[in-house]
Structure 1
């Protein structure tokens, strides 16, 4: 697949700076970098963004994630390699990415379970990371950014 155009965020330097600033803010919160990357990868898998799935896989591998964990992100419910905190973050990513699939995408029960593992600032970071992931996915899907290409 060939890209239709350059990444819009690269064409609008102020947009790129703003996105980078938000990403840096999210990454500064006391939450494991692997957790943030896992939610990015899961949202990207759901949205079919090969660019982001490849990027996340590369980041997670460079961060020391085992192949077993990496290969099992899409099947996290059945895989034994994820902590309870990671599992609820992945479930939260799925629900937040699929907001149109049901009336209350993140019901009280799920939010309660998220709150058992993460404080309010960490939940904010998860929500923003999932939102950024969905933004990246939509940019890359519309412009057909191929996996493996770096900026």
Structure 2
């Protein structure tokens, strides 16, 4: 895939290289975004098509994670999201929160879902401090 946008996207575009590097190391991962818990784009990989796509993905990621965390709390489980959604084009993986942020990526159908999820969790833990936006007052 070629990058469709050249303008920086998100509140922390200086960290976009982390997501692009993740995709280069994890076979089949693309369109990776880091999202604040309240749905703002923190940064994106180079494979995200546009600012508009990044904002849609961020809103959806935040909403899905919020639903899963709410369900977990109602059932007495830890408030964490580790979501896999199967689509016709692959699997969407959402993980977090890592501080005040979530990570989301699209994995191709032939990708090893376990490996993608494991590496997404490792990425989140390793960049937790950098991706955690300050709490807004």
TM range (shorter): 0.3 to 0.5
Q: Which has the higher helix share?
A: 1
TM-score (norm 1): 0.35
Q: Which has the higher strand share?
A: 2
| The structure with more radius of gyration | 1
TM-score (norm 2): 0.37
Q: Which has the higher contact order (CA 8 A, sep 6+)?
A: 1
